[in-house]
Amino acid sequence: MNASRISFGEKVRIRCEQATESKGVAGQTGIVHGETTPSVNGVEVIGHATEDYAIASWLKDTVRLWVC
């Protein structure tokens, strides 16, 4: 487990990479409001996961996103 994981309530910026650019969210900022294990509850995540872990963030002009 990564000791420097992002926590609830933190402000985050979505990385600029192919997966986030294709969804139109690259570079946007938001607030973390959850975390999950995608293999357990089947949420759709954006990005390439190196662990079975994703965070949920509300972005200003979009619905909730799960990103890894």
Output the six-digit token pair for 45.
Answer: 């995540």
Tens place of pLDDT per residue across the chain (68 aa): 555 678 899 999 988 999 989 988 889 999 998 888 889 988 888 887 788 888 888 887 766 677 76
Q: Is 49 a member of any domain?
A: yes
Q: Is 3 a member of any domain?
A: no
Output the six-digit token pair for 41.
Answer: 């509850």
Q: Is 44 a member of any domain?
A: yes
Looking at the structure of the chain, the number of domains it has is: 1
- Residue 38's domain comprises 11-67
Model-wide pTM > 0.85:
no
Number of continuous H segments (helices) and E segments (strands) in the chain: 2, 4
Q: Is 1 a member of any domain?
A: no
